[in-house]
Amino acid sequence: MKKERTKLALLVSDSLKAQAGAAALSEAHEWVPPQEADVLVVLGGDGYLLHVLHEMLQRGVSKPCYGVNLGTVGFLMNRSTRRAIAERVLRAREVEVVPLAMDAVTRDGQHHRYYAINEVSLLRETRQTAKLEVAVNGKVQMTELAGDGILVATPAGSTAYNLSANGPILPLGSRLLALTPISPFRPRRWRGAILPESARVSFRVLEPDKRPVAAVADQKEVRDVSEVHITTARDHRLTLLFDPGKTLEERIFAEQFQV
């Protein structure tokens, strides 16, 4: 961290654990409003940090975020310690995260644009199997994928839903995307693909009346979509801060050896 970044703002989730942690931190540093801060200190879990990052994306603002885990998993966070928060932020290392941009068109012709830091997923809305056409860079690669759905994950999100769907873990900085089917029925043996981050991935919903599909960008859902287009939003880069030796890259690397 650069030493001139000394103005810190404290953002706290609504959980009782995070609120208790905020009470202990409130007098440990001279905090400023978020709009005046150089760094946002975020107390809570991964979900709340993602909420803060999405708020910045919507406002077109980008400030480094130092997360303190007072939630459950905390994969994107730093552990809570008694060390002075200003010192921790000063020593933290920057990690760049590049989100995805999802452009979804619903069956009634409405257009929706949302960003995803972890993944964009297409999911069947009913008991009926979803049927999707898959295209990359304007060329149809799969005329029909039948299953529960499909997702596109960033390296930062490759250890989340993507990993649970048996997708590959992508090293941070690899400039790759994971294209992973969710419980595929046909073709049953297809396990997905690894794409360059420059790829434009498009999905067209087949039989939308009978087999409705929803598109989800992290926590934002659009129902009854007819087509979805996904690109990397390199002009909306975000910065996360991690304690030395505990960076996101090191965590993603270590995750590959978990048994």
DSSP string across 10-46 = EEE-SSHHHHHHHHHHTTTS----GGG-SEEEEEE-H
51 in a known ligand binding site: yes
Catalytic residue among 14, 46, 103, 218: 46
173 conformational bin, left if phi > 0, alpha if psi -120 to 50, beta if neither: left
With beta carbons less than 8 A apart as the criterion, state whether 171 and 252 touch.
yes
The residues, any chain, with a CB within 8 Å of residue 250's CB and separated by 6 or more, are none
159 is in an annotated binding site: yes
Residue 133 marked as a ligand binder = no
Q: Is 164 marked within a binding site?
A: yes
Any known ligand binding at 6? no
Residue 160 annotated as binding site: yes
Q: Kindly write down the DSSP assignment for every residue of 151-189, as one continuous string.
A: EEE-TTTTTTHHHHTTPPP--TTS-EEEEEEEEEEETTT
Binding site annotation covers 109?
no
DSSP 194: E
d(CA 112, CA 102): 8
Residue 243, annotated as binding a ligand? no
Residue 163, marked binder: yes
60 is in an annotated binding site: no
Q: Which helix (H) or strand (E) holds 9?
A: strand 8-12
**How far apart, in whole angstroms, are the C-alpha atoms of residue 118 and residue 152?**
9
Rounded CA gap, 11 and 77, in Å? 13
For residue 46, indicate whether it is catalytic: yes
Q: Is 46 annotated as a binding residue?
A: yes
From 29, 179, 46, 21, select the one nearest 100 (Cα to Cα): 179
Place of tokens 């975000």: 238
Residues designated catalytic: 46
Q: Residues comprising the binding site for NAD(+)?
A: 46-47, 51, 118-119, 148, 156, 159-164
Q: Residues comprising the binding site?
A: 46-47, 51, 118-119, 148, 156, 159-164
